[in-house]
Amino acid sequence: MPWKLPELDADLLALAKGYPYEAPTESYLYRDGRTFPISQADFVGRTPVIGHGSNRAPSQLRRKYGNLSGRQSEIPVTLAWLHGYDIVYSAHVTRYGAIASTLCPAPGCRVVVAINWLDSEQLAFMHRTEGFYSYGSLRGVDLRQFDGQGPALSEAFVYRGDHGCLLKDGAPVGLAASWGENRPHRKMSQAEALALVHARHGFVDDLDGHILATIRDEQARLKILEALGAEALHQDWPHFHLTSL
């Protein structure tokens, strides 16, 4: 089962509006809900999975893996430059109300992503938390980890949003919280993206009430997802190879 949502309205709204959540500006080792120097990490037997949204944040890892402790909880998280892609909003409202991220091909652009190094059990659980995404590998892509932080990479795995890219005036919208260079798309905060999506699909004055409705009413959320998907940009990723789960 996915991780449990909070019960209070204020906590739910903070979760929706806070995406993709605060994250360190350097690589780290996640353990027992805290961060430690990456020099303490053991990478043996782990799968590198690109985190382009909330999975780069310790708070999100704590929500997903908070039931684990000690070495079982350890997840090395290394930062890397991903070339040829931008981090944009997907046409997807998560079950906790946020507008999630996806990648979008963007020649000449590079963005900072996190590499979550997951063991087999952690990876299996991550799959269960990533709804409306397809899992596969990026091969032949220019992915450069920050100096001395993690093993060399010949490929990495990633979750690709199934609903495509959210559009504003016919173009994808970049996550303002993401770091990059030569990003070609206009950038929005999560609050701006939420207002954009909900203005298109029903709310007039009470944005918070509409966000809470999509969290608490699965059918309402799925109706928005269907509408967003119909007007989204769907692209092939040139380096993506689907992996059977």
pLDDT in tens, 159-203: 998 999 999 999 999 999 999 999 999 999 999 999 999 988 877
Is 4 within a domain? Answer: no
pLDDT in tens, 144-153: 998 777 887 8
Is 2 within a domain? Answer: no
DSSP H helices, the chain, are 9-18, 58-65, 120-129, 190-200, 207-216, 218-230
Distances (CA, A) of 40 to 24, 30, 103, 115, 193: 16, 10, 30, 16, 37
Is 1 within a domain? Answer: no
| Overall pTM > 0.85 | yes
212, with CB counted inside 10 A (0-12, 13-18, 19+), is: middle
Is 193 within a domain? Answer: yes
DSSP class of residue 153? -
What is the rounded distance in angstroms from the CA atom of residue 241 to the CA atom of residue 157?
Answer: 9
Q: For a pLDDT cut of 70, what percent of the chain falls above it? A: 98
Is 207 within a domain? Answer: yes
Residue 17: other Cβ atoms inside 10 A: 17
Is 115 within a domain? Answer: yes
Give the distance between the most distant pair of CA atoms in the chain.
52
The DSSP annotation for 55-73 comes to: GGSHHHHHHHHTT--GGGG
Helix 207-216 and helix 190-200, axial crossing angle in degrees, nearest 10 = 80
Domain harbouring 161, CATH code: 3.10.490.10
Is 245 within a domain? Answer: no
Length of the chain: 245
pLDDT value, residue 204: 63
- When divided into structural domains, the chain yields a total of 1
pLDDT value, residue 205: 72
pLDDT in tens, 12-50: 999 999 999 999 999 999 999 999 999 999 999 999 999
Instruction: At 39, list the tokens.
Output: 């020099």
pLDDT in tens, 92-127: 999 999 999 999 999 999 999 999 999 999 999 999
pLDDT value, residue 189: 98
Query: Three-class SS of residue 4?
Result: coil
pLDDT in tens, 112-121: 999 999 999 9
Is 58 within a domain? Answer: yes
The whole domain housing 110 covers 9-240
